[in-house]
Amino acid sequence: EAGVVQSPRYKIIEKKQPVAFWCNPISGHNTLYWYLQNLGQGPELLIRYENEEAVDDSQLPKDRFSAERLKGVDSTLKIQPAELGDSAVYLCASSPDRDSYEQYFGPGTRLTVT
Amino acid sequence: ELKVEQNPLFLSMQEGKNYTIYCNYSTTSDRLYWYRQDPGKSLESLFVLLSNGAVKQEGRLMASLDTKARLNTLHITAAVHDLSATYFCAVDIPNSGYALNFGKGTSLLVTP
């Protein structure tokens, strides 16, 4: 069974440019999470989806960050415009449903903003 | 504010030695998690502890949970180099399904 797939794995952009990250969860997993991991820190929740509904986006900086999961499968996280402080690893995780506590993490996208 | 504090943040130990990583958390939670992260890699689930007094062991690692003291420990027995990694503990974020709040991680280096 394939794990959580994320792309790109690495991205370097200049500040003020837009960037998008893509996540394909494990097949059949209805719950999807985006986390942000700064260097030397633990991951921090950005947004949680149950199917196509964003049920917890309280930690998402909505002035520049947006996310979507239109068909309840793949998800895209966007930053526009990117700032230097956005340099981090963006992790996607999925679990079978809202009653499942096991989360499976993808490899992450490492973003560098110059 | 929900806090998860790990101690120590950095640990260098010799092969064959024993050590314990501590994780304190500030909210009531009946579930504690331990994850491992190798450099440049994603997080690998090690243990999920579901109730007070729970103990789980896998190889040289043993995790235990005391929900009354809000203390979660990861004990390393007879360390080997392959255990070198960063270890994170995490708790559920209240009212957020099973979204997780992580500690800062303990960076473990096992040397010959």
A14-69 tens-digit pLDDT: 999 999 999 999 999 999 999 999 999 999 999 999 999 999 998 999 999 999 99
Contact B48 A31 (CB under 8 A): no
Tell me A78's DSSP state.
E
Residue B81 touches chain A, beta carbons under 8 Å: no
How do residues B45-93 score in pLDDT, each as one tens digit?
Answer: 999 998 888 899 999 999 999 888 888 999 999 999 999 999 999 998 8
Q: Examine the pLDDT at B30 and tell me if it is beyond 80.
A: no
**Exposed, middle or buried by CB within 10 Å (0-12, 13-18, 19+), for A59?**
middle
SS percent in chain A: helix, strand, coil, step 5: 5, 50, 50
Over residues B3-22, the mean pLDDT reads: 95
How far is Cα A22 from Cα A3, in angstroms, rounded to an integer? 14
What mean pLDDT, rounded, does chain A reach? Answer: 94
Q: Which domain holds residue B13?
A: 4-111
Which residue type sits at B87?
A: Y
Residue B19 has pLDDT above 90, yes or no: yes
For residue A111, list its beta bridge partners: A11, A88
**Measured between CA atoms, how close is B47 to chain A, in angstroms?**
10
Report residue A1's pLDDT band, with 50, 70 and 90 as the boundaries. low
**Between B76 and B96, residue with greater pLDDT:** B76
Question: Does A91 reach chain B within 8 Å, measured CB to CB?
Answer: yes
Question: Which of B41, B45, B105 lies nearest to residue A42, judging by beta carbons?
Answer: B105
**% of chain B surpassing 90 pLDDT:** 69
Provide the β-strand partners of residue B96. Answer: B98
| A95, closest residue in chain B (CA to CA) | B98
Taking the Cβ of residue B3 and every Cβ of chain A, the question of whether any pair is shorter than 8 Å is answered with no
Write out the two tokens for B32: 């504690």
Number of domains in chain B: 1
CATH number at residue B26: 2.60.40.10
A48 and B42 within 8 Å at the Cβ level: the answer is no
d(CA A28, CA A46): 22
Asked if B90 is an interface residue toward chain A (Cβ–Cβ < 8 A), one would say yes
Put simply, the answer to whether B45 touches A104 (Cβ < 8 Å) is: yes
Long-range Cβ contacts of B42-48 (<8 Å, 24+ apart): B42/A91, B42/A105, B42/A106, B42/A107, B42/A108, B43/A43, B43/A91, B43/A105, B43/B88, B44/A105, B45/A102, B45/A103, B45/A104, B46/B74, B46/B87, B47/B74, B48/A101, B48/A102
Token code pair at residue A12 = 């370097």
Domain A5-113 classification at class level: mainly beta
Say if A103 is an interface residue toward chain B (CB within 8 Å).
yes
With tokens 């030397």, the residue in question is: A40
- In this predicted structure, what is the pLDDT of residue A7? 97
The secondary structure of B3-63 as a DSSP string is -EEEE-SEEEEETT--EEEEEEESS--S-EEEEEE-TTS-EEEEEEE-STT-EEEETTEEE
